[in-house]
Chains A and B, each alone.
Chain A
Amino acid sequence: MATTEVHPASEPARWAYLDRIRTRPGPFTNPDSFDGKVVAEAMENMKILVIGAGGLGCELLKNLALSGFKDIHVIDMDTIDISNLNRQFLFRQTDVGSFKAEVAARFVERRVKGVKITPHNCKIQDFDEDFYMQFQLVVCGLDSIEARRWINAMLVNMVDEEVEDSYKPLIDGGTEGFKGQARVILPTVTSCIECQLDMHAPRAAVPLCTLASIPRQPEHCIEWAHVIAWDQEKPFPDLDKDDPEHITWLYQKSLHRAREFNIPGVTYSLTQGVVKNIIPAIAATNSVIAAACCNEALKIASNCAPFLGYPDNNYMMYSGNDSIYTYTFRHERKDDCPVCGTLARPLPDIDQAWTLRDLVDSFAARPEAQLKKPSVRAEGKTLYMQSPPSLEAQTRPNLDKTLVELGLVDGQEIGVTDPAFATVVFKYRLKFKS
């Protein structure tokens, strides 16, 4: 098996190690889908998209450039902050303030000869289907679940059964502290990010009455300053969470409130962490997860070994807190997935005494929905629209009507849209509490 000849593309001496693996079959290579003669050249002609040029993104660009991909695009709207430098190794102190995508692309192009990296300093939502159609593979290193859901919905909706090129595998990585996950989504074939949404349940929000009258934790004091005191006092026109002056104001407010209630533990660092929802991040974990993603990209692009997503497992969970533990498993597709399924997803525990406002407000915290600005339709009728303002004004009176008054019954199917997912209509079925 291992004696088969090598079929290198350009610069055989430089890519000798890679070519040994990607152009020769091994004991686990599927002979029906593998053709070692064409792999190297095919990969050089592929166009691959990286979303995010942060902690994972820097690693992804390095890894893909050293995996034989030559035409890489990267999207990131952010600029470099000093707190990125402990892990985003393509950036230096002098790059602070510059666009991440731009700096990262130039650095990897300089270091790895022959690779072309095209930066896009903007949001993923600035591009349409035509843009995404040009890539053969999409790799995501994002910290926001919203952006993941957006690109997932885009790629699933792009699938046209008649057009083979319309299937774009999506590889997604995420980290938190010493933990992370890597997953492969083959749109409409495997479970998608929306199917797996419940694995990323939002943190339960602290009730407003706790913040307002019975704080017990330092976090309650900080949230009070952030949510209540800021709005009352408006010390600056708009809250900029990256402005130290703004954070200092919140910190002092929180500290004052904490002293009033004898609550210990408010610090500047905690204030910043709560207000910005900071997730701890280190180079080592990004290295693990980004490499796991790119390892799958190489296998998908070359078929030189079986990849996640087909036929069995599609998800690798990694934890490094207590020894090292990985759990690699198959997450099943859900027929009631609002993005890739056909059935409406049940929405349990609905109280029929609720007003439409209660229902609308509940979408943000529900693990199976997590929609912050939902507009609701039922049986072709618009019940509430967030925008445009004229329609919002027309439908606003419905918010105070109860579900029953609006004619919604147990088992009712409703359609929900959200500006964060322009084209997608989430289908849900209301299930009333007995």
Chain B
Amino acid sequence: MTEIVMSQTPPILHGPSEKERKYDRQLRLWAASGQAALESANMLLVNSGAGTVGSETLKNLVLPGIGRFAIYDEAEVSEADLGVNFFLDDSYLGKSRSRGVTELLLELNPEVEGSWYPNEGVRTLDALLAGSQVFTVIMYTHPIQPEQLSQLEAYGQKHRTPLVAIHSAGFYSFFQINLPGAFPIVDTHPDETAATDLRVLRPWPELVSFAEDLTKSIDDLDNFEHGHLPYVVILLHHLEQWKATHDGKYPATYKEKTEFRKIVQAAARTNTPEGGEENFDEAAAAVVKTLVAPSLPSGLKEVFEYEHTDPVEQSSGFWVIADAVKRFYETHQCLPLPGKVPDMKAHSRVYIQLQNIYKAKARKDAAEILEMVQATPGGQHVDPAEVDLFCKNAAFVKLINATGWGSDAETPRIDRLRSVAAAEFAADASAELTLTPLSHLPIYLALQATAHLPASQPPAVGAILSAIAALVPGAERNERVVQAAHEVARAGAGELHNVAALTGGMVAQEMIKIVTKQYIPVDNTCVFDGVEGRCQVLRL
């Protein structure tokens, strides 16, 4: 399942520090580099309404140790808060809700700093935004006053701060991430098996001669040696033989690969005590996924094709490296070698030799790219470690939000919503035939229709439907939209603790991904339905 990240530091003989012990279970996911990013994060939560989804989100960020947070919330603690929000108690009744939540959250982790607003010194959101250190991300919960939303959007544009809208009501919720422009991720943590790249169809001289040495008298090897040939070597040996009888071509079609697999399997010795050879089984099993010609993965293609003209983007190490990798690809028709060799049956010594051949080639490719990077204006400041990481992950580099949002967007947001709505409703019409789950767009529309409605005015079905009609004309007549409107009205702008906690967990995961630049964030809206127990991600 999850790839486990191990510390890159050289072996030391003393045990882990107190802090490493406390954070052990998460360091295995995002390593020291991710932890450092979290610890320098400064997050703002603009809270309103029933107020629980925001506290639950922050709980999941305070625990892993973000640097600091601020809560802006104009509400005073009411009885209803105590039935839904775990980070408040009787002693705060009638007092500032931001203060209560901040104080009780800070108990969770003494390493985190937190502050609450409005207070004596800072009375408005505007004043808070103007007087604070730049926020790494801003989360705000619905309902939000339109003028406050405008202030946040202006701040987001100016400081390139990601904004996250969160809405939780009854069984429904959604959150929407607004990133300031294209957001590249290098450390995407692909599945380990998917990330294996052995290049058997593009071997380089060192690998070729290593395989030849081991197999030149393959039939004379004793059973022990024969049974411990690494499967990469077995494949390379038989590929050479195949080429000799197939006009110098590799097996390409599925039929040819199947035939090749049979040849490999048949080459196993059967006069062994086990009646077969495990390494040949491994070789045969690897044929279909290993005999793949190098190609450009779609995620990286998008990176190569993206026109980065923004000055901030121009000066980032990522784009300088991406350009160098693109030139490398154009020259060699393959990506830099990641250099990882999966475990396979082999002698220790032979396996380590093979591993070193892959590592040396990976280092050579990375050095070539580093040289190109350093020859680029501004490239002298790029950290060689960043180049290494890019080379190791090149096939899985991903660009999120490539088409932008807000005033940068190619299409205005409302048009995009309408075209997504048309597609989703059309898909629903044939859902029974295609056996696909029904769209969550009706839920999004019903919640979005109440995005600015003060919590003191519980929404009525009629009002929700007319607001939906303004967003997507005609949608208000859709039967599932009407049902969603009824469900939202049933909640009366109140939260269910479970749905708030679930949504707070998802948003916190996303914040961690964005701050650490590891794993892949949602692009850009996630809608949860607690009636069915299911999420859908939409690009809105």
Contact = CB atoms under 8 A, between A and B. Distances in A.
A381 interface: no
Contacts of A215: 348
Interface in A261-288: 261-263, 265-270, 272-273, 278-288
A253 to B, nearest CB: 12
Interface string A310-321: 000100101011
A178 B505 contact: no
Which of B483, B520, B533 gathers most chain A CB within 10 Å? B533
B489 interface: yes
Nearest to A270: B6
Contacts of B339: none
Interface string B487-513: 101111011111111101110111010
Contact of A266 (B11, B16, B347): B11
Interface string B6-19: 11010111011010
Contacts of B492: 2, 17, 20
30 contacts: A2-B461, A11-B83, A17-B495, A18-B83, A21-B494, A27-B483, A82-B18, A82-B21, A85-B22, A86-B65, A87-B64, A89-B108, A112-B86, A215-B348, A261-B349, A267-B7, A269-B24, A273-B6, A279-B25, A281-B25, A282-B26, A283-B59, A284-B61, A284-B64, A287-B502, A320-B509, A323-B537, A324-B510, A324-B535, A328-B532
Interface size bracket, A side = 35 or more
Interface in B200-236: 228
Nearest to B107: A92
Nearest to A113: B90
Contacts of A347: none
Contacts of B526: 324
Interface stretch (A189-197, A289-297, A414-422): A289-297
Contacts of A210: 345
Contacts of B533: 182, 292, 295-296, 308, 313, 316, 326, 328
Contacts of B496: 17-18, 21, 67, 295, 298
B352 A59 contact: no
A84 B491 CA distance: 35
Contacts of A66: 83-84, 86, 497-498
B336 interface: no
Contacts of B110: 93
A321 B520 contact: yes
A1 interface: yes
B31 to A, nearest CB: 10
Contacts, number: 283
Interface in A312-364: 313, 316, 318, 320-326, 328
Interface of A: 1-2, 11, 13-18, 20-21, 24, 26-28, 59, 62-63, 66-67, 82-83, 85-87, 89, 92-93, 111-113, 176-179, 182, 210, 214-217, 244, 247-248, 251-252, 255, 261-263, 265-270, 272-273, 278-292, 294-296, 298, 305-306, 308, 313, 316, 318, 320-326, 328
A323 B185 CA distance: 12
Contacts of B521: 323
A252 B15 CA distance: 11
A65 B26 CA distance: 27
Contacts of A323: 520-523, 537
Given A86-B65, A178-B2, A28 B24 contact: no
B510 to A, nearest CB: 8
B29 interface: yes
B89 interface: yes
Name the 3 nearest CB pairs between A and B, nearest first.
A17-B494, A287-B505, A177-B2
B425 interface: no
B476 interface: no
Contacts of A247: 15
A13 B189 contact: no
A276 B22 CA distance: 16
A126 to B, nearest CB: 28
B242 interface: no
B71 to A, nearest CB: 17
B137 interface: no
A306 B260 CA distance: 53
Contacts of A266: 11
Contact of B505 (A24, A261, A288): A288
A287 B486 contact: no
A68 B77 CA distance: 20
A282 B25 contact: yes
B263 interface: no
A318 B510 CA distance: 14
B170 interface: yes
A83 B22 contact: yes
A320 B506 contact: yes
Contacts of A83: 21-22, 24-25
B79 interface: yes
Nearest to B10: A267
A17 B79 CA distance: 11
B80 A14 contact: yes
Contact of A244 (B6, B15, B22, B64): B15
Interface in B150-197: 170-171, 188-189
Given A13-B80, A82-B18, A178-B29, A326 B228 contact: no
